[in-house]
Amino acid sequence: MKFSTTWLKDHLDTEATLQEICDALTSIGHEVEGVEDPSLTLAGFRVAHVLSAEKHPDADKLQVLSVDTGEGDPVQVVCGAPNARAGMKGVLGLPGAVVPSNGMELRKAAIRGVESTGMMCSARELDLGEDHDGIIELPDDASVGHSFADYQGSSPIIDVAITPNRPDCMGVYGIARDLAAAGLGTLKPIAVPKFEASGACPIEIRTDDAEGCPAFYGRVIKSVKNGPSPDWMQQRLKSAGQKPISLLVDLTNYLMLAFGRPAHVYDMAKLEGAIFARRAAEGEEVLALNEKTYTLDETMTVIADDAKVLGIGGVMGGEDTGVQDETSDVLLEIAYFDPARIGVTGRKLGLATDARTRFERGVDPEFLEQGLDLLTGLITELAGGTASEAVHVGSPPSEAKVVGFDTALTKRLGGVDVAEDEQRAILTNLGFEVSSDWQVTCPLRRNDIEGPADLVEEVVRIHGLDKVESVPLPRVDGVARPTASGQQMLERKLRRAAAGSGLDEAITWSFLPEDVAAHFTVTDDLWKLSNPISEDMKVMRPSLIPGLLMAAKRNTDRGAGSTRVFELGRRYFKGKNGASDERATLGVVLSGEKTQRGWANGKAASFDAYDAKAAALTLLEAAGAPTGRLMVMGEAGDQFHPGQSATLRLGPKNILARFGMMHPATLKAFDMDGPVAAVELFLDAIPAKKAGKGPVSFARPSFTPPALQAVTRDFAFLVPADLAAEDLLKSVRGSDKVNITGARVFDVFTGEGVREGQKSIAIEVTLQPQDKSFKDKELKAIADTVVAAAAKVGAELRG
């Protein structure tokens, strides 16, 4: 939230410097994100007096001005503004000044052969408005030669981060209240301009949705004169990043930004019958102020008249009943909306507005009547008109929370010793009522206070967070035992292994759109959120692959030729009795080019299922899984290509990983082109190592290579065409677990010399002698054992 120091001092009587204000804000928990000084952007611009204006000798639309800068002789300036004339006062940019709107540095130059020293400026050029039809005209009493920034009264603008639990500080007055409680000045009372209300409100106001809109206050003001708002208000709105529109609209924005109270003004000439809050009808539409049409449903609260929807309650008003320059009679609306309803509506419609932000966090329910009177007083003072009596329909929350407080908690929880009298003063200055027995009544605007710990936070932050000492945690003597759990150690190993394999780590959202999540599950156990961040983040992810696919898609859209990403996180499912079921998982996505095209390899190569399998086995080995005992089986899931995917299992039911190429339907759902490989490791399925006994050893494990050289023997088998090579390898490895230390496929052949329905698989078997070298007789026995084991899976030695 942004505001100028001038605006802050409208509500806070203080002599504090800018630095002291910023330090105090950060100390009490409102982090200062930045400070802007508009006077720096206006350096080099000053109030000037046009002494004479003569026609340019070489241009019909240009004039040559003689301008008094207040220092020495007048300067000559060429100007094309139609309102430039002798005797007027304006703003002159001298050589060296930088124009705020475009960053152009002014220099002395010749324009159509006539020398020009500087530039007379328009409001748009100085970022002070949209007017560009002529140069700025200043009053006759403007002091020539003075800095324009000083003349305008520019003040520094502070940008603070307001945490979501502090909606009471989403107005300048709330910030001033906190600073006053911290001793930085005195809070000024809210000054409500006087006005006289006469006559009953000529329009019926009611709420037909007491749940969504518990309170609806309003009144009519007739014979107002709309137009531009005064300079002081425009300056304050601009400091907050708001564009001034018109007096009536600016006043509602001023009320919201100054006091955190959204309000709305309707043009009475555009209303038909009564105005009321109600539930929207399914499929009902409204044209909002942003000129977009929104389709509503029955969960949303709207403001309507007898003929149409006027606006989305608490989110955005409608375009059809907005005030214009010619508006003369207006209806003021100040309502209280249910925060949860506002949040759901905003997320469904994808609308993020200043009003929604405040309503869904909780506005002050006690400020409805005073807010209505304040807005009424400002309108009648600045726009004229006659106000009717106010109509108060319904009632906002009015039951204050009472919290029993023990002052000793401040020391115990907050780590700082604060005297009881100071604690009482802090809470009182913040608007809490403290009884003699420390029963604390919370102001209704502080809906974030739930218990004594929250009161400790209030005391400590106002006392000063910087006064809390840094105290090291106690440490026992000796060597500290490892604190990381086995799961944490496993995840660290996998991160290193994945990075070492050339993969980049990604961190994606744990939430997915419902249709995307449904594509990656075959059951109804999706964990849907009742209060999601947005409709696109409504379901907890049942797989890590969709998030990585979306990340790969974004990379491709931005020109990345290859994406190799992994993520280590959790999958989420509905557990029993509403509990969450979280499962540690590692996902990998490989898309784009595996190798680029080149003179040596010709065309670029894409990733394939074997790349996915290699990645899966590498990571499983790093995780300590018994990769030599794994079975390769199908059923990787409908999201994978059925002929180019598989699972790695430890036994027929325990699936450790799935890998392969994404199904074309999956790629289409994610709007992706080209082959994409993926891997998903289920870490919860990897068997844990048995806990060791005895003291913890910090010695590096030793490894002694075999004394004797290994021996390799090649075998070629004829096997059924549908036999998986892994089944043959598994059978061979198991034939002699003492002497056989490895087996791998090095050739697969079909064609001449191989019977139809069969294929030839050649494998290399590694034999490791133990205490003596193998003799020919021993090698033959091992070979016979291998052949016999291969025969069990339908393989015969090829002649």
Could you tell me the two tokens for 303? Answer: 């403001």
Res 471: pLDDT = 85
Detail the residues annotated as belonging to a binding site for Mg(2+). 448, 454, 457-458
Residue 504 binned pLDDT confidence (cut-offs 50, 70, 90): very high
Res 103: pLDDT = 87
Give the range among 141-145, 459-463, 629-633 with minimum mean pLDDT: 629-633
| Domain assignments of the chain as residue spans, ordered by start | 2-37+156-187, 40-152, 205-394, 402-464, 486-685, 711-797
pLDDT digits (tens, 9 = 90+) for 94-104: 999 999 888 89
Residue 707 binned pLDDT confidence (cut-offs 50, 70, 90): confident
Percent of the chain with pLDDT over 90: 71
Res 31: pLDDT = 93
Most confident stretch, 165-174, 233-242, 591-600, 620-629: 165-174
To the question of domain 486-685 being in CATH 3.30.930.10, the answer is yes
Burial 233-263 (b: 16+ CB within 10 A, else e): bbbbbbbbebebebbbbbbbbbbbbbbbbbb
Quickly count: other Cβ atoms within 10 Å of residue 116's Cβ. Answer: 22
* CATH topology identical between 40-152 and 205-394: no
Fold of the domain spanning 40-152: OB fold (Dihydrolipoamide Acetyltransferase, E2P) (2.40.50)
Read off the pTM.
0.68
State how far the Cα of 440 lies from the Cα of 455, in Å rounded to an integer: 9
Q: Which CATH architecture has domain 2-37+156-187?
A: 2-Layer Sandwich (3.30)
Taking alpha carbons only, the member of 578, 574, 495, 568 closest to residue 542 is 574
Cβ atoms of 799 and 717 within 8 Å: the answer is no
Res 2: pLDDT = 93
pLDDT exceeds 90 at position 526: no
Please, which residues bridge with residue 403 across strands?
A: 440
State how far the Cα of 176 lies from the Cα of 158, in Å rounded to an integer: 13
Q: Which CATH architecture has domain 205-394?
A: 3-Layer(bba) Sandwich (3.50)
pLDDT digits (tens, 9 = 90+) for 16-27: 999 999 999 999
Q: Is 487 helix (H, G, I), strand (E, B) or coil?
A: helix
Distances (CA, A) of 265 to 109, 220, 270: 50, 10, 12
Q: What is the DSSP letter of 100?
A: T
pLDDT digits (tens, 9 = 90+) for 149-203: 888 777 899 999 999 999 999 999 999 999 999 999 999 999 999 999 999 999 9
Res 236: pLDDT = 92
Amino acid letter for position 36? E
Could you tell me the two tokens for 527? Answer: 């964990």
State how far the Cα of 783 lies from the Cα of 785, in Å rounded to an integer: 5
Residue 662 binned pLDDT confidence (cut-offs 50, 70, 90): very high
Q: What region, left, alpha or beta, does residue 176 occupy, with left being phi > 0 and alpha being psi -120 to 50 degrees? A: alpha
pLDDT exceeds 60 at position 697: no
> Residue 426: which residues within 8 A CB-CB, separation 6 or more?
181, 418, 458, 459, 462, 463
Res 314: pLDDT = 93
Res 614: pLDDT = 94
State how far the Cα of 410 lies from the Cα of 463, in Å rounded to an integer: 11
Could you tell me the two tokens for 14? Answer: 């203080």
Phi, psi of 585 (to 5 degrees): -145, 150
Distances (CA, A) of 603 to 591, 599, 740: 16, 9, 40
State how far the Cα of 363 lies from the Cα of 667, in Å rounded to an integer: 46
Residue 561 binned pLDDT confidence (cut-offs 50, 70, 90): confident
Res 353: pLDDT = 93
Res 692: pLDDT = 52
- Residue-by-residue DSSP string for 418-477: --HHHHHHHHHHTT-EE-TT-EEEPPTT-TT--SHHHHHHHHHHHHHGGGSPP-PPP--S
State how far the Cα of 256 lies from the Cα of 531, in Å rounded to an integer: 26
pLDDT digits (tens, 9 = 90+) for 334-348: 999 999 999 999 989
- Mean pLDDT over 201-220 rounds to 95
Res 115: pLDDT = 93
Residue 522 binned pLDDT confidence (cut-offs 50, 70, 90): low
389 vs 464, residue with greater confidence: 389
Taking alpha carbons only, the member of 677, 674, 625 closest to residue 503 is 677
Please, which residues bridge with residue 90 across strands?
A: 48
pLDDT digits (tens, 9 = 90+) for 271-307: 999 999 999 999 999 999 999 999 999 999 999 999 9
pLDDT exceeds 90 at position 506: yes
Detail the residues annotated as belonging to a binding site. 448, 454, 457-458
Fold of the domain spanning 711-797: Alpha-Beta Plaits (3.30.70)
Please, which residues bridge with residue 441 across strands?
A: 402, 433
Res 42: pLDDT = 86
Please report how many Cα atoms fall inside a 13 Å half-sphere around the Cα of residue 597, on the Cβ side. Answer: 3
Res 566: pLDDT = 97
Residue 546 binned pLDDT confidence (cut-offs 50, 70, 90): very high
| Top-level class of domain 402-464 | alpha beta
Could you tell me the two tokens for 124? Answer: 């748009």
Q: What is the CA 632 to chain-centroid distance, rounded?
A: 42
Please, which residues bridge with residue 740 across strands?
A: 767
Q: What region, left, alpha or beta, does residue 236 occupy, with left being phi > 0 and alpha being psi -120 to 50 degrees? A: alpha
